[in-house]
Amino acid sequence: MLKITVLASAALTLIFLRLSFAVIRLRRSNEVALGSGGNVQLERAIRAQGNFAEYVPLGLILLGCLEINGAPTSLVVIPAMTLAIGRLFHAKGINEPPPHFTNRIRGMQFTFGTLMLLVALNLGWLAYASSFSDVR
């Protein structure tokens, strides 16, 4: 059972829904049916939602792979938390007017770092588990 991945997926879905509702709210208030209509605030909200949708699925797939292959709980929980933290920082940062990119940069650092860590953990765990027949 993928308990950690389920919890991470649920939490990240709630964040995604909040980002989506922000886009909907801004589209309605600015009467924009498609695109941003040149509205900078709406463009930021669209990109926050889009960026989230671009990176989170890879993280969840890698989390699920790690968990289903029997990695220790801590090797799944920690990246799940850092992925969520990174996505929250990025969403906050992208919605701040420039030139204040600190949270946006921090969010991408957390996200990229987590994805790279998950790749390394998956490959490392695969090699480790393949070396021992009693490890699953």
The class that CATH gives domain 3-129 is mainly alpha
- Would you kindly state where each structural domain of the chain is located, as residue ranges? 3-129
Its pTM stands at: 0.88
pLDDT at 136: 52
Sign of CA dihedral 35, 40, 45, 50: positive
Q: Is the pLDDT of residue 33 over 90?
A: no
Instruction: Give the separation between CA 136 and CA 121, rounded to whole angstroms.
Output: 15
**Position 134 confidence tier, pLDDT thresholds 50, 70, 90:** low
Choice between 60 and 40, residue whose per-residue pLDDT is larger: 60
Report the distance separating Cα 52 and Cα 111, nearest Å.
10
Q: Given a cut of 60, is residue 41 above it in pLDDT?
A: yes
pLDDT tens digit string along 62-91?
999 999 999 999 999 999 999 999 999 999
pLDDT for 34:
87
